Structure 1
Amino acid sequence: MAGTKAPCALIVMGVSGSGKSTIAAALGDRLGWRFEDGDSFHPKSNVEKMRAGHPLTDEDRWPWLNAIADEIARACSRGEKIIIACSALKHTYREVLLRGRDDVRFVFLKGTQELIADRLAHRKGHFMPPGLLTSQFNTLEPPEASEHVITASIDESVEAIVDGIVRQLKIDGGKSRAKEI
């Protein structure tokens, strides 16, 4: 079961516009862990599809999720610590990302559709158009306690959100030594 050992990987998850990349990068800086944006693992066809305003299907997502899971496996096998920003909207997607590992934790960035829509309306240069937000919320299966998830409200400052995540992880001294959780 995920989350029973000290994590070697964190997956910061949520709908588009929830702040995954911002929070994951700040968390990586705080902990001294490597940050990767899950978007960089999308095949070109997925990016083009989203840019055109079309939601991805599960068939579109499997290669992307497997590429992220492969990177987690590589990093953890080398003793690295990694944080990946990835929507991970469905339970089945999270299972693919975990591959049965118990040293990966999810951090769910939770916010209202209204707050996130406002953020997306002001975001520039991202391939995910604001019009797909409704499909993201329709797809979202919020993680359950059994998934050993950390939930963080996005209606605070980046620093406050990261502070709360670190507290919930029980990280010693703000660096990459996580206690058994």
Structure 2
Amino acid sequence: MSTTRTPGTADRPQVVVVMGVAGTGKTTIGPLVAEALGVPYAEGDDFHPPANVAKMSAGVPLDDADRAPWLDAIGRWAHDRAGLGGVVSSSALKRGYRDRLRAAAPGVVFLHLTGDRELIERRMAARTGHFMPTALLDSQFATLQPLQEDEAGVAVDVSGTPEEITARAVAALRRLAV
């Protein structure tokens, strides 16, 4: 797990963006982190316009133009939660995407879920009812730019149970807030 510093205090709830490639568990870990922090959760996939969902369902990776309105919608949600706290999922794979989210909501903190490609592929293959096919995993890893030292956030490995991952994530986020 790596840690970078962030502005904020322990008594001011953070807005956390749970990021990572498809299959890292954003939809599983995000709500658990939100519950542990006592703040609401928003599913990032719900912010996608229908055209994006159709494109991904067809196995076509999104480009930056496709992602812009999605990131802007997530940014508005995060902005509206400033000072109140919240957790939202977003792949936020590129630094530029995270910069766009920070421009909308300057205090956001990133929780980067990381893991071994084989583990993530197995988890993706086992899930049902999701529009993101396993075939797009390589494009996700190719696009991924991990958190940099000047970005507020933590990276947490996704091996283990959801409860173990959540405990590590919440502990790391709480260390950032002091």
Whether TM exceeds 0.5 here: the answer is yes
The SS at the match of 2:110 is strand
Query: C-alpha separation between the residues in 2 aligned to 1:120 and 1:111?
Result: 13
Query: C-alpha separation between the residues in 1 aligned to 2:34 and 2:174?
Result: 15
How far residue 169 of structure 1 moved from its aligned partner, in angstroms, is 2.1
Distance 1:105 1:19, change over 3 A: same
Q: Tell me, yes or no, if the aligned pair for 1:4 and 1:102 is still in contact at 8 Å.
A: no
Residue 72 of structure 1, aligned match among 75, 78, 88: 78
Give the structure-2-normalised TM-score. 0.90
Aligned-partner residue type, residue 6 of structure 2: G
Give the structure-1-normalised TM-score. 0.89
Aligned residues: 172
The SS at the match of 1:53 is coil
How far residue 145 of structure 1 moved from its aligned partner, in angstroms, is 2.1
- Of residues 92-101 and 34-43 in structure 1, the stretch that sits farther from structure 2 once superposed is 92-101
Query: C-alpha separation between the residues in 2 aligned to 1:14 and 1:31?
Result: 20
**Partner of residue 135, structure 2:** 131
Root-mean-square deviation over aligned CA pairs: 1.8
**Partner of residue 159, structure 1:** 163
**Partner of residue 174, structure 2:** 170
How far residue 101 of structure 1 moved from its aligned partner, in angstroms, is 4.7
Identity rate, percent:
40
Query: C-alpha separation between the residues in 1 aligned to 2:14 and 2:124?
Result: 31
The SS at the match of 1:147 is coil
1:17 aligns with 2:48: no
Q: Tell me, yes or no, if the aligned pair for 1:5 and 1:102 is still in contact at 8 Å.
A: no
Query: C-alpha separation between the residues in 2 aligned to 1:42 and 1:100?
Result: 17
Q: Tell me, yes or no, if the aligned pair for 2:108 and 2:152 is still in contact at 8 Å.
A: no
Structure 2 residues not aligned, in runs of 5+ = none
Structure 1 residues not aligned, in runs of 5+ = 172-177
Q: Tell me, yes or no, if the aligned pair for 1:3 and 1:102 is still in contact at 8 Å.
A: no
How far residue 83 of structure 1 moved from its aligned partner, in angstroms, is 0.1
How far residue 32 of structure 1 moved from its aligned partner, in angstroms, is 1.1
Aligned-partner residue type, residue 50 of structure 2: K
